Amino acid sequence: MNQYNLGDANTAHLYALSQQGNNALTHQALMQQATAQAAMRDMETEKNIQVPKVNFYPSRHPDPHKARKKDIKQAYKLLAPAKRSIFNPLRWALGRKYRYDKQTSMCVVDGCDCASLIQHDNLYNKIRDEDTNQSLWELYWQNPISGQPEAFIAKDKVTTGRKMRGTYCPEHMHLYHLLCKWETEEDKVKESNPKTLRDRVKKGVSLVTVPVSSIVKKDPTPAFLEKYEPFFAELEKDSRSTNGINILHYKNPSTNLNDVTMIVFDLRIFQEELAAMNQPTAAFQQMMMGQLAQQKSLEEQPLGGVE
Ligand SMILES: [Zn+2]
C-alpha cells in the first residue's frame, strides 16, 4: 500500500511528516523508526541476516485524531503475526496457523532471528522512548523482577490474545511501543468524551458517584409557602399523638400529584380525648377501689388509745 519507505527518507522529509497527521507521532519517533529501518537493512547486507521490511508510513490525514486512528490501524496490520499460506497443509492439518511460532527469539512477523541481531548490534538498546528515555531493551526485553534479559512475547492479536512462541524484532518492537502509546492517547480522548461515559453507564458500569441531592426531585412547593413549613411540621408531629388533627392529601388521578392539601381539626375528638385523659384507667380505678376498701375496714376497727 505504501510505496514509501522511512529508511529512505531524508531528514527534511521526516520533519515534514512529523508536522502533519498524528500528533503523537513526533519527529523523534519517526527518526528512530527510520534509523531502525536503515540500521536493520545495513545489518542485512553486512551479516546476511534476513531483516523485515516494516514499511510503516504515517498517515497524512489533516485531522490529527483521524490520522492517529489510521496509524493505529496500520500498526495493527503490520504487527499481526505472519500466517501460513492457506494452501499450506500445515496450517490445516496440524493447526499451525502462524509461520513463526516456535522460538521466542524470532520475530513473529518476519521470522528474523533477534538473538543474532542482538549479538551483532543491540538495536533494542538504541531505540528510546523520547518521554521516559527508556530503551526498548529496558521496557520490553528485561524481566521486571530479576532484571535479566528476557525475550518479549508477542500475542496473536498484537495487544491481546494468545501468547505466541515468538517476539518482535527492534523495528516491530518500536512500532509496537508507538502503538501502545497511541492507544493510551486514544483512550484518554475516549474517557473524556461524555458520550462514552453515557454508554458505559448504559452497560451498567457506574464509575461516577452521583451526589444524592441531584437524585432527589426538586420540591415543587412555591417559595412563598415556605413560611408555613414550621406550621406543617408541628401539625405532622401532633397528628401522631392525636386523632383530632388530620392532614389530608388529595391526589389528582390524572397527574398523580398532591394537588389539594386539607387540614382537619376535629373538636369532638379533642374533647373526647381530653375526657379520656381525665378519666382514670381501669387499673387506676381498681387500685382506688382497693384503697377505699382498706380505709373503710380501718375505720370500722375500734381505735385504741389514739386521741
Ligand atoms: Zn520484525
Question: Has residue 214 been placed in a domain?
Answer: yes
Question: What secondary structure, in 3-state letters, does the chain show?
Answer: CCCCCHHHCCHHHHHHHHCCCCCCCCHHHHHHHHHHHHHHHHHHHHHCCCCCCCCCCCCCCCCHHHHHHHHHHHHHHHHCCCECCCCCHHHHHCCCCECCCCCCCEECCCCCEHHHHHHHCCHHHCCECCCCCCEHHHHHCECCCCCCECCCCCEEEECEEEECCCECCHHHHHHHHHHHHHHHHHHHHHHHCHHHHHHHHHCCCCCCCCCHHHHCCCCCCCHHHHHHHHHHHHHHHHHCCCCCEEEEEEECCCCCCEEEEEEEECHHHHHHHHHHHHCCCHHHHHHHHHHHHHHHHHHHCCCCCCC
Instruction: Compute the distance from residue 106 Cα to the ligand 1 centre, in Å.
Output: 8
Specify the number of domains making up the chain: 2
Tell whether 28 and 71 lie within a shared domain.
yes
Tell whether 228 and 179 lie within a shared domain.
no
Q: Which of 192, 227, 247 is the last residue of a domain?
A: 192
Q: Which of 145, 166, 192 is the last residue of a domain?
A: 192
Q: What is the pLDDT of residues 61-94, one digit of tens each?
A: 888 888 899 999 999 999 999 888 777 777 766 6
Tell whether 173 and 223 lie within a shared domain.
no
Residue 234: is it exposed, middle or buried by C-beta count within 10 angstroms (0-12/13-18/19+)? exposed
- 244 closest CA partner among 275, 215, 207, 221: 275
Tell whether 219 and 167 lie within a shared domain.
no
Q: Is the dihedral of CA 270, 271, 275, 281 positive or negative?
A: negative
Tell whether 223 and 173 lie within a shared domain.
no
Q: What is the pLDDT of residue 211?
A: 45
**212 has a pLDDT exceeding 50:** no
Question: Has residue 85 been placed in a domain?
Answer: yes
Grid cell at residue 44: 542485512
Question: Has residue 38 been placed in a domain?
Answer: yes
Q: Write down the mean pLDDT value for the chain.
A: 78
Instruction: Compute the distance from residue 81 Cα to the ligand 1 centre, in Å.
Output: 9
- The pTM score is 0.55
Question: CA-to-CA distance for 113 and 119, rounded, in angstroms?
Answer: 10
Range of the domain at 110: 6-192
Instruction: Compute the distance from residue 110 Cα to the ligand 1 centre, in Å.
Output: 5
Question: Has residue 176 been placed in a domain?
Answer: yes
Question: Has residue 160 been placed in a domain?
Answer: yes
Residue with cell 518521554: 131
Across the range 186-211, mean pLDDT stands at 61
Instruction: Compute the distance from residue 54 Cα to the ligand 1 centre, in Å.
Output: 7
Instruction: Compute the distance from residue 24 Cα to the ligand 1 centre, in Å.
Output: 22
Residue with cell 495493527: 76
Confidence at 302, pLDDT banded by 50, 70, 90? low
Confidence at 195, pLDDT banded by 50, 70, 90? low
- 102-116, 162-176, 189-203: segment of lowest average pLDDT: 189-203
229 compared with 160, residue with greater pLDDT: 160
Tell whether 143 and 243 lie within a shared domain.
no
Tell whether 185 and 221 lie within a shared domain.
no
Instruction: Compute the distance from residue 173 Cα to the ligand 1 centre, in Å.
Output: 7
**5 has a pLDDT exceeding 80:** no
Tell whether 148 and 238 lie within a shared domain.
no
Question: Beta-carbon neighbour count of residue 111 at 10 Å?
Answer: 19
Instruction: Compute the distance from residue 186 Cα to the ligand 1 centre, in Å.
Output: 25
Question: CA-to-CA distance for 150 and 156, rounded, in angstroms?
Answer: 19
Grid cell at residue 212: 444524592
Question: Has residue 51 been placed in a domain?
Answer: yes
**168 has a pLDDT exceeding 80:** yes
- R_g (Cα) of the chain, nearest Å: 43
Confidence at 125, pLDDT banded by 50, 70, 90? confident
Instruction: Compute the distance from residue 216 Cα to the ligand 1 centre, in Å.
Output: 59
Across the range 40-61, mean pLDDT stands at 69
Tell whether 214 and 186 lie within a shared domain.
no
Q: What is the pLDDT of residue 57?
A: 79
Tell whether 40 and 109 lie within a shared domain.
yes
Q: Is the dihedral of CA 158, 160, 164, 167 positive or negative?
A: positive
Across the range 117-143, mean pLDDT stands at 87
Question: Has residue 60 been placed in a domain?
Answer: yes
**205 has a pLDDT exceeding 50:** no
Question: Has residue 111 been placed in a domain?
Answer: yes
Instruction: Compute the distance from residue 108 Cα to the ligand 1 centre, in Å.
Output: 7
Grid cell at residue 100: 513463526
Instruction: Compute the distance from residue 143 Cα to the ligand 1 centre, in Å.
Output: 21
Tell whether 20 and 124 lie within a shared domain.
yes
Instruction: Compute the distance from residue 53 Cα to the ligand 1 centre, in Å.
Output: 8
**Chain center to CA of 195:** 14
Instruction: Compute the distance from residue 95 Cα to the ligand 1 centre, in Å.
Output: 23
Instruction: Compute the distance from residue 184 Cα to the ligand 1 centre, in Å.
Output: 23
Instruction: Compute the distance from residue 286 Cα to the ligand 1 centre, in Å.
Output: 105
Q: Which of 157, 192, 227 is the last residue of a domain?
A: 192
Tell whether 68 and 113 lie within a shared domain.
yes
Instruction: Compute the distance from residue 152 Cα to the ligand 1 centre, in Å.
Output: 12
Instruction: Compute the distance from residue 133 Cα to the ligand 1 centre, in Å.
Output: 22
Across the range 225-249, mean pLDDT stands at 84
Confidence at 214, pLDDT banded by 50, 70, 90? very low
Instruction: Compute the distance from residue 45 Cα to the ligand 1 centre, in Å.
Output: 17
Instruction: Compute the distance from residue 265 Cα to the ligand 1 centre, in Å.
Output: 90
Q: What is the pLDDT of residue 138?
A: 92
